[in-house]
Amino acid sequence: MNQFRFSRRPDIGDKVRVSFEFFPPKNDEMEARLWDTVTRLEPLQPKFVSVTYGAGGSTRERTARTIGRILKETSLTPAAHMTCVDAARHQVDAVIQEFTDMGVKRFVALRGDPAEGVGAAYRPHPDGYANGAELVGALKDAGDFDISVSAYPEKHPESPDFATDIDMLKRKVDNGATRAITQFFFDNDLYERYVERARRAGIYIPIVPGILPVHNFTQVANFSARCGALVPAWLAERFDGLQNDLQTHALVASAVAAEQVLDLVERGVGDFHFYTMNRADLVFAVCHMIGIRSHEVAGSAAA
What string marks each residue from 34 to 63 as x (binds ligand FAD by CB under 6 A) or -?
------------------xx-x--------
Q: Interface with ligand FAD includes 112 (CB under 6 A)?
A: yes
Q: Interface with ligand FAD includes 212 (CB under 6 A)?
A: no
- DSSP assignment of 132-171: HHHHHHHHHHH-S-EEEEEE-TT--TT-SSHHHHHHHHHH
Between residue 158 and residue 177, which ones bind ligand FAD under the rule CB under 6 A? 158-159, 164-165, 168
Quick one: which segment of 136-144, 153-161, 194-202, 262-270 binds ligand FAD (CB under 6 A)? 153-161
Q: Interface with ligand FAD includes 254 (CB under 6 A)?
A: no
Query: How far is CA 120 from its chain centroid?
Result: 22
172 vs 215, which CB is nearer to ligand FAD? 172
Q: Give the binding-site size for ligand FAD (rule: CB under 6 A).
A: 22
d(CA 212, CA 246): 17
Q: Interface with ligand FAD includes 125 (CB under 6 A)?
A: no
Q: Interface with ligand FAD includes 210 (CB under 6 A)?
A: yes
Q: Interface with ligand FAD includes 7 (CB under 6 A)?
A: no
Q: Interface with ligand FAD includes 120 (CB under 6 A)?
A: no
159 vs 294, which CB is nearer to ligand FAD? 159
Q: Interface with ligand FAD includes 128 (CB under 6 A)?
A: no
Q: What are phi and psi of 53, to 5 degrees?
A: -130, 125
Instruction: Identify the residue among 64, 70, 76, 110 touching ligand FAD (CB under 6 A).
Output: 110
Instruction: Identify the residue among 156, 170, 267, 288 touching ligand FAD (CB under 6 A).
Output: 156
Quick one: which segment of 30-38, 157-165, 191-199, 237-245 binds ligand FAD (CB under 6 A)? 157-165
185 vs 217, which CB is nearer to ligand FAD? 185
Q: What are phi and psi of 56, to 5 degrees?
A: 60, 25
Amino acid at 33: R
CA dihedral 49, 230, 270, 46 (to 10 degrees): 10
What string marks each residue from 217 to 246 as x (binds ligand FAD by CB under 6 A) or -?
------------------------------
Q: Work out the angle at residue 208's Cα, subtended by the Cα atoms of residues 93 and 150, and round it to the nearest 5 degrees.
A: 35
- Which of 21, 42, 134, 154 is labelled catalytic? 21
Is 29 designated active site? Answer: no
Q: Interface with ligand FAD includes 257 (CB under 6 A)?
A: no
Pairing label, strands 179-184, 207-211: parallel
Q: What residues are annotated to the active site? A: 21
Residues binding ligand FAD (CB under 6 A):
52-53, 55, 81, 83, 108, 110-113, 131-132, 150, 156, 158-159, 164-165, 168, 181, 183, 210
